[in-house]
Amino acid sequence: MCVSVYICYSLVTSLLVGVVSLKSSYDGGRLGESSGHHVNALEASACSAAWWAGRDITRLGQQRARGSVEVEGVVHMRRSRRLKIREECRVFHMSDTQIKEVMSRLHNELVRGLGKNTHSKASVKCWLTYIQDLPNGKERGKFLALDLGGTNFRVLIINLGDNHFDMQSKIYAVPNHIMTGTGVALFDHIAECLANFMKEHEVYDERLALGFTFSFPLKQTGLTKGILQRWTKGFSCSGVVNEDVVQALKDAISRRGDLSVSVMGILNDATGTLMSCVHKNPNCRVGIILGTGSNACYVEKTENCELFEENNGKPQMLINTEWGAFGDDGSLDFIRTEFDREVDTHSINRGKQIFEKMIAGMYLGEIVRLALEKLTRMGLLFDGRGSDLLFKRNSFYTKYVSEIESDLPGEFTSCRDVLEELGLAHATEADMAAVRYVCECVSRRAAHLVSAGIATLLNKMNDPVVTVGIDGSVYRFHPHFHTLMCEKIEYLVRPGITFDLMLSEDGSGRGAALVAAVACHQSQQQGA
C-alpha cells in the first residue's frame, strides 16, 4: 500500500512540474528568461491544468489500490487527449522574442504615424488631439460633457471646487431610427437631451462650457474640429462622414436658440481616460481603452509631432494612436492564428482593426468559441458532441471568459453554468478544465499583446515614472488581466522606468468635462 501511494505521489509531482514547465514555455520559451516576472501569473492560469492532471492521477492511485487492471489504459487515453488539446492551443503562445518583435513593429508604426511624409501610409495614424495642457488642479467651475459612443449616450455636469469634485449624469437612448437616419436628426436629438438635462439640474439659463467625447474614428484638425472618418457600432447617419461633428453639434444647439453652451473640445474615450486619471494622479501619461474595442492615447513631445505646424512653444501633445488598426498592413500576420483569420473574415470590417480583433472584448469570446468548436469536432471535447449554440457564431460572450476564469482552482461553478447555457450539460469536469484552459490561453495572449503595446509607449516616452490609466470592461472585469499585464510590462520596459496601472473612473465623461475645464482655464489666462 505504501509503495502504491509513493508511486502515485511521485507521478503527481512529476506531472505538476511538467504542467508548470509547459506553462512557462507559453510565457517565453525558457523558464529562466522571465521566471521572476511570471510566478503569480503561472499560479493563476496553471490552476486548472494542474488540477486536471492531478485528479486523474488521484483516481489512478485509488483504482490501483482496488486492483483495477483497466484504468491505466483509460488514463493514458485521457492524458493523450490533454496533450492534444495543449498542442492545439500552442498557437496562442507567443515567445518573448515574438512579443519584442511586435513591440519593434509597433514602434516603427508610431514613428510613421507621427511623420509628415509617412503618416498617410501608416496603419497606426497617431492623430493629433490638439490637447497640450493637462489638468493641474486649478480648474474651477461647472462644466458639461457629452459622451457618445454607442446605442446610449450620456450628459454630465461636474462642479470643480477647491476640495471637491461633484459629478452628476444621465443616460439617454439613441433609438435605432435615429442611429440609421440623418445626421441632423441625430444631433437634434442630442441637443434636445442636453436641454432637458440642463433643465433638470437647474442650469438651463447658465452659460457653460462643454467637452464632447465622440468615440468613433475621428481626424482632428483642431481642439474643436473633428472630421468623422467612418461610422461604427451600428451607426450609419447620413451626411456626417467626412464632416466636422463639432460643427454639427453647434448647429443643432443653434437651431434650438435656447441654450448658452460653448463646445470647448472634442476627444475620444482613450484621451478622456488619460485626462480623468491625470486629474487624480499627475504622473499619468498614457490612457488605454480595453473594452469592446481598444485604443491608446499618450503624451508625445511636440517636436516629434511633424503634422503639428504651429509653433506655440508648448512642449507636449496628446496623441490618439488608434492602435486598433495596428496590423492592417500585415505586420501581425506572423502571430495570427486560424481563429483570428476566421473572426476577421466574418467581421463587418474585414481586414481592418487587426490588433483590436486580437485583444478586445468584442472578439475574445468568439476566438475562444472557435477554438472550442475545433476541439469538439476533433473529438477532444464533450465526447465530440457539441451543441447548436456552441457552433453558432458570436454565441460565446467575452463575459463568459471572465466568469469561467473567476472559478476557484478545482471548482467549476461558473463554467458549468456557462456550458449548460450553451446546451452542453453533458460536459465532464475534464471538459470544463479544458474549457478554462482555452480561455486562459486566449486571455493570456491578449494581455501580453496589450502589455507589449503599453511597454512600447513607455519606452518611447522614456519618462522615469509613469501612471497608465485604463478603462474598459475587459480590464475591469477579467480576474487576471491586471496581474498578467503588470508582470509582462515589467519584463518589457527599459531598466529605470517605473510604472503603475490605474483603473479609470468614468474617463469618457469626466475626461470630456476636464478638457472643457482646461480649455476655459487656458482661455482665461490668455485673456488676462
Amino acid residing at 39: V
Quick count: other Cβ atoms within 10 Å of Cβ 371? 25
Q: Could you give the 3-state DSSP secondary structure of residue 220?
A: strand
Cell numbers 470643480 correspond to 160
Q: What is the dihedral of CA 105, 477, 502, 149, to 10 degrees?
A: 70
d(CA 8, CA 355): 45
User: Is 147 an active-site residue?
Assistant: no
Query: Which is the catalytic residue, given 84, 233, 280, 374?
Result: 233
- Burial class for 396, CB neighbours closer than 10 Å (0-12, 13-18, 19+): buried
d(CA 511, CA 271): 7
Contact 287, 270 (CB under 8 A): yes
User: Is 166 an active-site residue?
Assistant: no
d(CA 48, CA 412): 10
Q: Which residues contact 513 (CB under 8 A, 6 or more apart)?
A: 143, 144, 145, 156, 157, 158, 167, 211
d(CA 226, CA 320): 12
Q: What is the dihedral of CA 135, 138, 142, 148, to 10 degrees?
A: 0
Query: Which is the catalytic residue, given 96, 188, 269, 328?
Result: 269
- Closest-CA residue to 503 (of 303, 338, 347, 280): 280
d(CA 261, CA 516): 11
d(CA 37, CA 33): 9
Alpha carbon 188 to chain centroid distance? 32
Q: Could you give the 3-state DSSP secondary structure of residue 64?
A: helix
d(CA 230, CA 155): 23
- 3-state secondary structure labels for all residues of 240-262: CCCCEHHHHHHHHHHHHCCCCEE
- Closest-CA residue to 459 (of 232, 302, 286): 286
d(CA 406, CA 408): 6
Q: What cell does 60 get?
A: 489512478
Amino acid residing at 307: L
Q: What cell does 177 get?
A: 431610427
Q: Could you give the 3-state DSSP secondary structure of residue 269?
A: helix
Active site positions, annotated:
233, 269
